[in-house]
Every structure is written in structure tokens, then in C-alpha cells.
């Protein structure tokens, strides 16, 4: 795997983690920074026609807004985001400098939590 933004070892860990946890329901995985992105995985039966830069802008802005809005509340620190759509779901984990989102046909709440925790750990190690 050739990556410009994410070292091969880290990219392989992200893909392996998501494929293992989510299984055949996994649709895609995208690593992003504020200014750029790299799609790490796209399931074979899907077309590569999504406006990922638009997604990244939205996910980055939403992370910053959510983090600021809930900072210091009794809910605690922001951990991850789950989005539900007509044809699938998205789980996003973001730090102040980078993030990963994975899309899937379906996942259990426990799978979201497991994937988010593991992705957070990978991002924190960087």
C-alpha cells in the first residue's frame, strides 16, 4: 500500500482493524487531515465517485464544532461520531490534527465503540 499521508504500517493497521471488526459490511475507510485525505480501502462492489473532499470538510468542521460545543459539559470529552444514512453508516474518530472515518452497511453499537476505541489508540500513537 502506497500512502502519502499515513505511513504504510499505520495504514495497514487501520485497514486490518476495520476489516476484522466490521467484516464484509465494511464499505470504505478514509484517513484525513484538515487539508488532505487518502482513501485506504474501498469495497470492490462500490464505485469511487464520492466527493471525499466535501466529506472531509464537513467531518472536520463538525468535529471542531462538536468538540467546542460540548467541552466542559457533564457528558465528558468527545470520543467519536456515528452517522446513519439510507444505505449505510459512518463512524468518525478525529483528533486535533487528523481523523479516520469508516463506512459500513451495518454495525452493532458495540462494534462502533470497539472500532472507535481502536482507531483512537492508533491515532494517539502517531
pLDDT at 111 exceeding the cut of 70: yes
Domain 8-44+65-125 listed as CATH 3.30.450.30: yes
Q: Tell me the domain boundaries of the chain.
A: 8-44+65-125
Average pLDDT on 109-118 reads: 93
pLDDT in tens, 33-47: 888 899 999 999 998
pTM for this model (two decimals)? 0.87
Residue 92 is predicted with a pLDDT of 93
Per-residue H/E/C for the chain? CCCCCCCHHHHHHHHHHHHHHHHHHEEEEEEEECCCEEEEEECCCCCCCCCHHHHHHHHHHHHHHHHHHHCCCCCCCCCCEEEEECCEEEEEEECCCEEEEEEECCCCHHHHHHHHHHHHHHHHHC
pLDDT value for 74: 93
pLDDT at position 43, please? 95
Amino acid at each position: 500500500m502506497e500512502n502519502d499521508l499515513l505511513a504504510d504500517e499505520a495504514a495497514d493497521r487501520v485497514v486490518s482493524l476495520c476489516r476484522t471488526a466490521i467484516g464484509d459490511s465494511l464499505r470504505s475507510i478514509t484517513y484525513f487531515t484538515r487539508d488532505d485525505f487518502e482513501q485506504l480501502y474501498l469495497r470492490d462492489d462500490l464505485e469511487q465517485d464520492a466527493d471525499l473532499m466535501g466529506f472531509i470538510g464537513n467531518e472536520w468542521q463538525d468535529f471542531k464544532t462538536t468538540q467546542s460545543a460540548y467541552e466542559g459539559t457533564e457528558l465528558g470529552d468527545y470520543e467519536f461520531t456515528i452517522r446513519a444514512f439510507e444505505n449505510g453508516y459512518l463512524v468518525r474518530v478525529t483528533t486535533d490534527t487528523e481523523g479516520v472515518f469508516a463506512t459500513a452497511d451495518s454495525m452493532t453499537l458495540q462494534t462502533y465503540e470497539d472500532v472507535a476505541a481502536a482507531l483512537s489508540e492508533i491515532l494517539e500513537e502517531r
